[in-house]
Amino acid sequence: MGKKSRLANHLPALVELRDMPGTRVMFWVVNACPYCGEQHLHLAGNLRAADPGDTLGEQAAPCDPEKVYELTLPPRPKKKKGKRGRRTDWSDEDW
Ligand SMILES: [Zn+2]
């Protein structure tokens, strides 16, 4: 904290993790940039590397050097575990 966030130049951008066929490289795909509406790709890292989540967060928007967006995972819509919980216990989700 203590950093001032200028919201106009710092919007959330929903991303999707993709890997590139034939490689071990993963990308975050921004399907709709909050600034230009286009698709952008950001390198998420190597499949063998620690955690692609490390590269989430602030990234410079490729379409506008003045702007930054925040790579954000979308909320997962599919929750078929009986109760559509309000709590997000994603620790016991995928195991
Ligand atoms: Zn853009």
CA 9 to ligand 1 center in whole angstroms: 12
Q: pLDDT tens, 71-95?
A: 999 888 777 766 655 555 555 555 5
How far does residue 12's CA lie from ligand 1's centre (Å)? 12
Residue 30 CA, ligand 1 centroid: distance in Å: 9
Q: Ligand 1 centroid vs 36 CA: distance in angstroms?
A: 4
Distance CA 46, CA 44 (A): 7
- Give me the mean pLDDT over the 54-60 stretch: 92
pLDDT at residue number 75:
86
- Mind listing the pLDDT tens digit for each residue in 2-53? 455 556 789 999 999 998 889 889 999 999 999 999 999 999 988 777 688 8
Name residue 15's beta-bridge partners: 30
Mean pLDDT of 54-68: 93
